[in-house]
Chain A
Amino acid sequence: MSATLTATTGSDAVPAKRPDYKVTFGRVVRSEWAKFLSLRSTWITLAVAGLLLVGIGIMGAYRYDPTAMRGPSADAHDAVTIALRSTELAQLALGVLGVLATAGEYTTGLIRSTLAAVPKRLPVLAAKVLVYFGVVIVVATAGAFLSFLGGEPFLHGKAIALTLSSSGVLRCLFGAGLYLALIAVLGAALGMLVRSVAGGISLLVVLLMLLPVFLDILPSSWKPDVSPYLPGLEGGAGGSIIALHQESGTLSPGAGLAVLCAWVVVALAGAAYRLLRSDS
């Protein structure tokens, strides 16, 4: 580099001192963090997810009626289920946040700038995963705790009431934060895989919400074998992570987490392959 410069500026010219720039993984993470902070849409999505998580949880506790045969209270066996029912909606907002993080770069064309700066490519995916996992696990865990604690006074003295010190409660609340953070990462992986916001969101909805419904069409004997291994909440791996009591036929929380992680890893592997191998 400096050789070329000296050659072109003449032999007696002092080669200009070039600043010592270098791409490092830490810097790529800082760049992705700055990108995250500087978009209004990410803040809005994150705020919506937080509000859903807390608002619906507290509302559920407030409206809880043990005598109801129908409605939201009917299948609520414990305070944790009420507090975390909102996970079902929050996962969509946070999954979309993940999709936007990656597919958004393709639909806007920003990916060309990004990959010109980091042509090794994989650090970009890794940094995005790190940033979004980090942000979402903090926001979602806080949301889960606020939802539970905010609903506690309304359930006080009722049969389903629980406190943070009740057995399994902390596991469920932390589990909900972890589940939502993994869903955001899943969204990011799917977005990078299909490179389209609409496609990424569709895929996410299919995986999390439509597959369990689709299983009902198939022979009924299949469902118990397949359902626990789906990533979503409804009878799937995600449900095992955040449920206080495991229903029969579902996985244990640890096994559920392992299954969900496997989904995320497979999606990430696909995303990494596409990122490295296809033109951008």
Chain B
Amino acid sequence: MIEIQHLVKRYGDKTAVDDLHFTVKPGVVTGFLGPNGAGKSTTMRMILGLDAPTSGSVTVNGKRYAQHAAPLQEVGALLEARSIHPGRSAYNHLLALALTHGIPRRRVDEVIELTGLGKVAKKRAGAFSLGMGQRLGIAAALLGDPQTIMLDEPVNGLDPEGVLWIRTLLTNLAEQGRTVFVSSHLMSEMALTATNLVIIGRGRLMADTTVASFIEQAGGDSVKVVSADSARLRELLLGPDVTVTGEAGSETLTVSGLSARQIGQTAADAGIAVFELSPQAVSLEEAFMTLTGDTVEYRSNAGSASQTGAPEGSVAA
């Protein structure tokens, strides 16, 4: 459980975090979304007490992080920036952290095994690839078997296998009743793993919601149908919670509230020939950009014909 109350962080006259107020609950994965520079990392650093808030408060499991007798047992964190000495081996890095808490060496071996670092554990961490570095950071986060796991952009630099591994890990940790708080600037990634969503832009809270209701607000899932008699099909499909849109005289309809399977069955029962039936995924990335569009910190307008420009790092959409 992470409770953030009216959190503000200013650097000079620049406000990095502006009156954030939300709670991260146990038992589910909570996605922490925002464009680059929105204040996600700063918020996470304040949760760990690395940065002091200008005003407001952050508590973890009811206390300020620094007041816990065994902080690594409360929160395990992977921060965005590397937090290792390149000259030390992965094993020795983890051991040094474990020793501060009296965590046994057995547990160090366990997290090395769990994160798949077995073969490189004795090598200098400075020689690690980005993906291996992320795994070492996650191993450190899991070291104290913490109640709350907080990961800043964990899939950065991971190969597809690694990304899948992270998703499974996060889901499992949440199922064990832990609080899982994960930041990302990619909506699509969060939609796959998170249940709850906290979206920030330029340090301000934009939405504190669930993935399901975010998708619904974004327009829900719809199905595109191209048929021989769209006017009659429209009549047959209409019902409570079903919306059908399409231009008069066109063969194409867009249906939401029904699955492709239901639509196909209805058409077949009525003897209407269907030429195309395709579920349309809502672009969550677009919905996310609409929400945070005005708050994007760094725009890349150079060379772009478009008036609005695109947020940096959002190519994946």
* A4, A113, A116, most chain B CB atoms within 10 A: A116
Q: Contact flags (1/0) for A1-34 with B, using CB distance below 8 Å?
A: 1001100110000000011011110011011101
- In contact, B147 and A4 (Cβ under 8 angstroms): yes
Q: Indicate if B254 sits at the interface (CB-CB under 8 A).
A: no
Contacts of A27 in B (CB 8 A): 99-102
Chain A: CB-nearest residue to B64:
A119
Q: Indicate if A63 sits at the interface (CB-CB under 8 A).
A: no
- In contact, B66 and A120 (Cβ under 8 angstroms): yes
A1-B61, A8-B177, A120-B66 known; A108-B86 Cβ under 8 A: yes
Q: Please report which residues of chain A, range 52-99, place their CB below 8 angstroms from some CB of chain B when the two chains form the complex.
A: none
* A4, A38, A117, most chain B CB atoms within 10 A: A117
A18-B145, A31-B99, A40-B87 known; A113-B140 Cβ under 8 A: yes
A4-B1, A108-B84 known; A31-B97 Cβ under 8 A: yes
Contacts of B232 in A (CB 8 A): none
Chain A: CB-nearest residue to B87:
A39
Q: Indicate if A279 sits at the interface (CB-CB under 8 A).
A: yes
Q: Please report which residues of chain B, range 88-128, place their CB below 8 angstroms from some CB of chain A when the two chains form the complex.
A: 88-89, 92-93, 95-97, 99-103
**Stretch among B49-57, B157-165, B199-207 lining the A interface:** B49-57
Chain B: CB-nearest residue to A33:
B99
Can you add 10 more A-B contacts, CB < 8 Å, to A1-B61, A34-B99, A113-B93? A21-B102, A22-B69, A23-B69, A23-B70, A27-B99, A105-B85, A112-B81, A119-B48, A119-B66, A280-B50
The chain B residues found within 8 Å of chain A, CB to CB, are 1, 26-27, 45, 48-52, 61, 65-66, 68-75, 77, 79, 81-89, 92-93, 95-97, 99-103, 140, 144-145, 147, 177
23 contacting pairs across A/B (C-beta < 8 A): A4-B26, A4-B177, A5-B147, A9-B177, A19-B145, A23-B100, A27-B101, A31-B97, A34-B99, A35-B88, A41-B87, A108-B84, A109-B82, A110-B84, A110-B85, A112-B83, A113-B83, A116-B75, A119-B48, A119-B71, A120-B66, A280-B50, A280-B51
Give the 10 A-B CB pairs with smallest separation, nearest first: A8-B177, A119-B66, A38-B92, A31-B99, A112-B83, A21-B70, A279-B51, A113-B83, A21-B101, A31-B100
